[in-house]
Amino acid sequence: MRRTVLVVHVVAAAGWLGLTLGLLALGITASTTGGAAVIEASVRAMKLFADWLLLPLALLTLVSGLVLALGTSWGLARHRWVYTKFWLTLGTTAATAFALRPGVNSAVTAVAAGHPLPDAGEVLFGPIVSLSAYVFMTVISVLKPWGLTRRGRRLRAATTRRPRQAASSSES
């Protein structure tokens, strides 16, 4: 079961990262081209990805990561890298829902009405920040830096004391 959830988590996270890279490419295209048709096609494609793929992948990554953290020895608050990934995933999921998608939607509304792209930042800032966060989370998933949290140290100390206490009480 753990391996299945791990595969789901890795595939969802990789999909989220790849989709964000695609959104960045579309955002760059929309903000650097002069043609109205290309701008409209780019922001409409961004809207399609943001509305149908981005949030489901974000939620799947969040939920599968939470299941892995709570269902394995890594724990959610035992290792600093797991704890950091959880909060970054939660933050980027919220930013996707409440900042990136509304920014893309307002860009589509403006461009569809015949206006120029209102602000290139609306289609670039979200993907840049998200992509940076996902690359960072990938790096810490591989390197597993920073060691145990205070809670993790307490739990480790408690589990290493128990066998010794059991052994000393059986010797008496």
Asked if residue 104 lies in contact with residue 26, where contact means CB atoms within 8 angstroms, the answer is no
CB-based contacts of 157-165 (< 8 A; 24+ apart in sequence)? none
From 130, 120, 159, select the one nearest 31 (Cα to Cα).
120
Q: What is the mean pLDDT of residues 39-60?
A: 95
What radius of gyration, in Å, describes the C-alpha atoms of the chain?
Answer: 22
* Band (171; pLDDT cuts 50, 70, 90): low
Q: What is the pLDDT of residue 160?
A: 82
pTM for the full predicted model: 0.85
**With 70 as the cut, is the pLDDT of residue 164 above it?**
no
Asked if residue 119 lies in contact with residue 99, where contact means CB atoms within 8 angstroms, the answer is no
pLDDT digits (tens, 9 = 90+) for 75-92: 888 899 999 999 999 999
Q: What is the pLDDT of residue 125?
A: 93
pLDDT digits (tens, 9 = 90+) for 20-49: 999 999 999 999 988 999 999 999 999 999
Q: What is the pLDDT of residue 150?
A: 86
* Band (153; pLDDT cuts 50, 70, 90): confident
Q: Where are the strands (E) in 32-165, listed by range?
A: none
Q: What is the pLDDT of residue 133?
A: 96
